[in-house]
Chains A and B, each alone.
Chain A
């Protein structure tokens, strides 16, 4: 099996989960209502747990241990898409991101349940059940607020318009698409994106929201190979503040 291609795939999934998990956790204590505070905190914990599972597989393939990999790299060594590193903004933006990102994540895990690389397929099978709750949560709120008041619809629409170029960056193709598909590890970003468009459109159709014309939208790519926005490094600095204060400490 092609280990370089495999690691490339694992890193982007693990890093997406780690970074979106930390961003979600920023809602802890400041959610617009208590249930949402708990929801974002709970999803944060799930996603950071997911990243841990993938970092563990990377460790088994010869990379550093999960804590080192998660906390002691610089921004240019991260493979997450730029979308997940953007600040949480107002609740409308976080909700839209949660909706767009988590649908892609769900489909990715569904595809990976059939991966020829067993450690990935086992994790994917397990995670599907957890992410289902995230999707349900996102859909309920997008449908509710996407049909509620003029203000809620306008705010979601504005966030959707801002988010879409970044959301398309989720599907930035890997250097190893062909290898991954040939070895039946992962069918590829293009197939994933097609299913994602179908799924999000199905939900958006039930609201007053308009999906921007994707053919006219330029994807914000680069994240998969270390090109990030100005927002990632400060987040990493904050995440790693404790471990960096004494990297050899026993916890």
Chain B
């Protein structure tokens, strides 16, 4: 494939790449919020909450993401038509967010548990409640330890988002497939790979910077 042809496909590829980034960022934000609650649930003294959160993580980490996507997109409407999620964006985001929440929950739990026990005891000795101690002392200290594994998860999610091409989402992988069938030539996968690499590089650099910044306080 010559360069001129590649340049004519560039806008389509970039549009696909934009959708890939939007998908990744939104699902990781929702995933992180849900993941935080799951992590706190796992650390909860209430056995039932702990079990429920454990079950969630077990389920979503233990089954393939592609299967979860198909389940949400195709199987839910078959179970009951009212469970049909509209369009392509919402089912894709939901599946990616639910899946990343399971991984992020374990990352957050590990980070919280790595904070010295004495911190919680000291906070309580100062008269803080469990919630106050978590919110003001423990969780803020875990940020720095969170950064490297969260960066990992973000990059993994960005790459995994290529799976949503299977449920009619037009993102970078899908656009690449379409162009490759049009050209009956697989060379277009190379520039697409470069785009993926560029996106993951942005995340890598940002997270390295963040890590350095937060290390100042340790």
Chains A and B belong together in one complex: no
What residues of chain B have their CB less than 8 Å away from a CB belonging to chain A? none
What residues of chain A have their CB less than 8 Å away from a CB belonging to chain B? none
